[in-house]
Chain A
């Protein structure tokens, strides 16, 4: 690797890791009305790094270098703007006004960049991004952009949508922050729970976006999975958010990620759990997941993440597909379905019934859903029907169901998978 690539690589890696924290501090400095200024400082810092490192080499502590440069650039902007009306530093209950006097500017600035404060600010920003009045799509988009350092182009690729759409979502979210005068902060104890639920759900959706084979761009998918893990890890590490459901979600995502590599063949085809090479599963990550699942076992509330993690755990400890404890898994699905009458959970439960009680009973169970229009538009419903008919030796019906499923999915990987099924009938 030549020098230029090394710099680019180091910077890309660092940027993904640090940009979220840096932007959280910069937003604290300039206020949520000026997220664009914060983004400009970050961008300038990155450009400075590229230019300086090219000549002087990568510094010993590149992270500290980036922080230092961003800090200095922030000071420059404050000095230029403090006597204009452009940026308002006068908010009460904060010491931001100290940024406007040379007596206190640098000392205040330095405390803003201390590790313990940065972690708080990052978390506060996560809560702000998951504001209940921001819709889910916008939340995820904005988190990927500001906290995970994704470019508009990358997010557009991750969501299979246009850059224009993503830009609009980001613009609207910024406008929301500006007009509502949102001040990022970690909620008080009595509000923490409900706000945390939103964050966890957003991370869960983000993870699924990366984990499920909705498109073929492997690199982006892995990045999204990593970022979901990273965000949850931040919650796990912060005293105020070390709660059972946080550990449970972390466990769930680790169990799934442990199997990530074995899900797709070298030709890019989807490999079912049944056919996965279990020795390819990441045992270290499974051990980590177990650790988090144990940590999750306190408190009185059994969250859906607990149940999903418990299901994933059963899959991970089974020596083979045949030895899977389906009865236990069915119990967890029953509990899950009691909690949320979600048709997707119901469909997955049908698959467990298929393994445990055979195709006839599974068919009867699946058919309970046949009146739901929403579910009939979902490819998984037809894919499961196909599988059940196939096991009942009703090949014609199986083929029709698979064809229907084929027409309902956009994913290349899923399409290839279904085509193979039809050919093998």
Chain B
């Protein structure tokens, strides 16, 4: 099986506006979706990311106190899964609860370096 990374973007705004109860309810959906992947032995891992960031540009010489991307382009987290093909990995990603928060997901195969 190959490994794929889901790069999850956006969702920041809706998450900031959610009440703790709504957030808990939302996280239970992540639990369900990822639990399902784990049950099928297809989940490798993944983490949500904080919004605050530092960006290094100009060969690391220039440092800014915010991420390069903002809003819908901001990477909010990643998940790594096992799948047989890009199609299968894409199909699996459809259940991601992040879509409720208007996220987008980019599915990329992990490149094996020679």
Contacts and interface: CB of A to CB of B under 8 A. Distances in A.
Given A107-B27, A107-B28, A101 B41 contact: no
Interface in B24-70: 27-28, 30-31, 34-35, 38-39, 41, 43-48
Counting contact residues on chain B (CB < 8 A from A), the size range is 10 to 19
A294 interface: no
Nearest to A82: B45
Nearest to B24: A107
Contacts of B30: 103-104, 107
Given A92-B41, A97-B43, A103 B35 contact: no
A103 B41 contact: no
Given A92-B41, A95-B38, A95-B39, A101 B31 contact: no
Nearest to B30: A103
A211 to B, nearest CB: 46
A101 B47 contact: yes
A178 to B, nearest CB: 23
B108 to A, nearest CB: 18
Contacts of B45: 97, 100-101
Contacts of B31: 98, 103-104, 107-108
A103 B38 contact: no
A424 B17 CA distance: 89
B104 to A, nearest CB: 17
Contacts of B28: 107
A98 B46 CA distance: 9
Interface of B: 27-28, 30-31, 34-35, 38-39, 41, 43-48, 77, 79
Leading 6 A-B pairs by shortest Cβ distance: A107-B31, A103-B30, A97-B38, A95-B38, A102-B47, A104-B34
30 contacts: A92-B41, A93-B39, A94-B38, A95-B35, A95-B39, A97-B43, A97-B44, A98-B31, A98-B34, A98-B35, A98-B38, A101-B34, A101-B47, A101-B79, A102-B47, A102-B48, A103-B27, A103-B31, A103-B34, A103-B46, A103-B47, A103-B79, A104-B27, A104-B30, A104-B31, A104-B35, A107-B27, A107-B30, A107-B31, A108-B31
